[in-house]
Chains A and B, each alone.
Chain A
Amino acid sequence: MATRHSAEYRDRHLVQELSSRIRRLSRRPLRIMEVCGTHTVSIFRHGIRSLLPETITLLSGPGCPVCVTDTAEIDAAIELARRPGVVIATFGDLLRVPGSRSSLERERAAGCEVRIVYSALDAVALARQTPGREVVFLGIGFETTAPTVAAAVLAARQAGLGNFSVLCLHKTVPPALAALTAAGDLRIDAFLLPGHVSVVIGRRAYLPFFERTRLPCAIAGFEPVDILQAVAALVAQAETERPQVENVYRRAVAEEGNPAAQRVLAAVFEPADARWRGIGVIPASGLEIREAYAAFDASRRFPLELAPAPEPRGCSCGEILTARKTPPECPLYGIRCTPSDPVGPCMVSSEGTCAAYFRYHDASAGG
Chain B
Amino acid sequence: MDPADKILLDHGSGGRIAHRLLRDLLLPAFDNPALAELNDGAILEVEGSRLAFSTDSYTVDPIFFPGGDIGDLAVNGTVNDLAMCGARPLALSAAFILEEGFPLEDFRRILGTMARAAREAGVAIVTGDTKVVPRGAADRVFINTSGIGLIPPGVRVASHRARPGDRILLSGSLADHGVSVLAGREGLAFQTTVQSDTAPLHRMVAAMLAAGGEAVHVLRDPTRGGLGTALNEIAESSGVGVLIHEETIPLKPEVAGLCELLGFDPLYLANEGKLVAFVHPEAAEAVLAAVRADPAGRDAAWIGEALAAPAGRVVMQTRIGGRRIVDMLSGEQFPRIC
In the complex, the answer to whether B10 meets A340 with C-beta atoms within 8 Å is yes
Known contacts A91-B338, A95-B334: does B324 contact A363 (CB below 8 Å)?
Answer: yes
- State which residues 36-56 of A face B: CB under 8 Å: 37-38, 44-51
Distance in angstroms from B198 CB to nearest chain A CB is 23
Chain B residues with Cβ under 8 A from A10's Cβ?
319-320
Among A12, A47, A338, contact of B324 (Cβ-Cβ < 8 Å): A47
Among B20, B189, B321, B335, contact of A92 (Cβ-Cβ < 8 Å): B335
In the complex, the answer to whether B320 meets A45 with C-beta atoms within 8 Å is no
A224 within 8 A of B: yes
- State which residues 283-338 of B face A: CB under 8 Å: 310, 313, 315-325, 327, 330-331, 333-338
Among B9, B187, B260, B324, contact of A44 (Cβ-Cβ < 8 Å): B324
In the complex, the answer to whether B310 meets A109 with C-beta atoms within 8 Å is no
Chain A residues with Cβ under 8 A from B325's Cβ?
359-363, 366
B68 within 8 A of A: no
B8 within 8 A of A: yes
When C-beta atoms are compared, the residue in chain A nearest to B8 turns out to be A109
Residue from the set A115, A351, A359, A367 with the largest chain B CB neighbour count within 10 Å: A359
B188 within 8 A of A: yes
Known contacts A91-B336, A95-B334, A118-B337: does B256 contact A45 (CB below 8 Å)?
Answer: no
Chain B residues with Cβ under 8 A from A358's Cβ?
327, 330
Distance in angstroms from A149 CB to nearest chain B CB is 11
Chain A residues with Cβ under 8 A from B327's Cβ?
358-360
Bound complex: CA of A50 vs CA of B324, how far in Å? 8
Distance in angstroms from A127 CB to nearest chain B CB is 13
Bound complex: CA of A37 vs CA of B263, how far in Å? 13
When C-beta atoms are compared, the residue in chain B nearest to A52 turns out to be B322
Among A45, A93, A95, A362, contact of B338 (Cβ-Cβ < 8 Å): A93
Bound complex: CA of A62 vs CA of B284, how far in Å? 48
Contact mask for chain B residues 183-211; partner A; CB cutoff 8 A; 1 contact, 0 none: 00001110000000000000000000000
A110 within 8 A of B: yes
Chain A residues with Cβ under 8 A from B260's Cβ?
2-3, 6
Bound complex: CA of A162 vs CA of B260, how far in Å? 34
Bound complex: CA of A339 vs CA of B325, how far in Å? 15
Known contacts A338-B330, A366-B313: does B338 contact A37 (CB below 8 Å)?
Answer: yes
In the complex, the answer to whether B318 meets A46 with C-beta atoms within 8 Å is yes
A246 within 8 A of B: no
B262 within 8 A of A: yes
Chain A residues with Cβ under 8 A from B318's Cβ?
45-47
Known contacts A106-B8, A109-B6, A366-B313: does B323 contact A47 (CB below 8 Å)?
Answer: yes
Bound complex: CA of A50 vs CA of B256, how far in Å? 24
B251 within 8 A of A: yes
Among B10, B256, B265, contact of A2 (Cβ-Cβ < 8 Å): B256
A364 within 8 A of B: yes
Known contacts A38-B338, A91-B337, A366-B313: does B322 contact A49 (CB below 8 Å)?
Answer: yes
In the complex, the answer to whether A48 meets B322 with C-beta atoms within 8 Å is yes
Bound complex: CA of A366 vs CA of B119, how far in Å? 48
Among A48, A105, A367, contact of B310 (Cβ-Cβ < 8 Å): A367
Chain B residues with Cβ under 8 A from A359's Cβ?
325, 327, 330
In the complex, the answer to whether B331 meets A46 with C-beta atoms within 8 Å is no
Give the interface of B toward A (CB within 8 A): 6-10, 15-17, 20, 187-189, 251, 253, 256-257, 260, 262-263, 265, 310, 313, 315-325, 327, 330-331, 333-338
Shortest beta-carbon contacts, A-B, top 6: A47-B322, A92-B334, A339-B330, A363-B323, A47-B324, A340-B17
Q: Could you name 21 residue pairs across A and B whose Cβ atoms are closer than 8 Å?
A: A10-B320, A37-B338, A38-B338, A46-B318, A47-B323, A50-B324, A51-B320, A51-B321, A92-B334, A116-B334, A118-B189, A141-B337, A141-B338, A145-B337, A224-B322, A338-B16, A340-B17, A349-B338, A358-B330, A360-B324, A363-B325
For the complex with contacts A358-B330, A360-B324, 17 further pairs of A-B residues with Cβ separation under 8 Å are: A2-B257, A10-B320, A38-B338, A46-B320, A92-B335, A92-B336, A93-B334, A105-B8, A108-B9, A109-B6, A126-B187, A340-B10, A350-B333, A350-B336, A351-B338, A361-B324, A363-B316
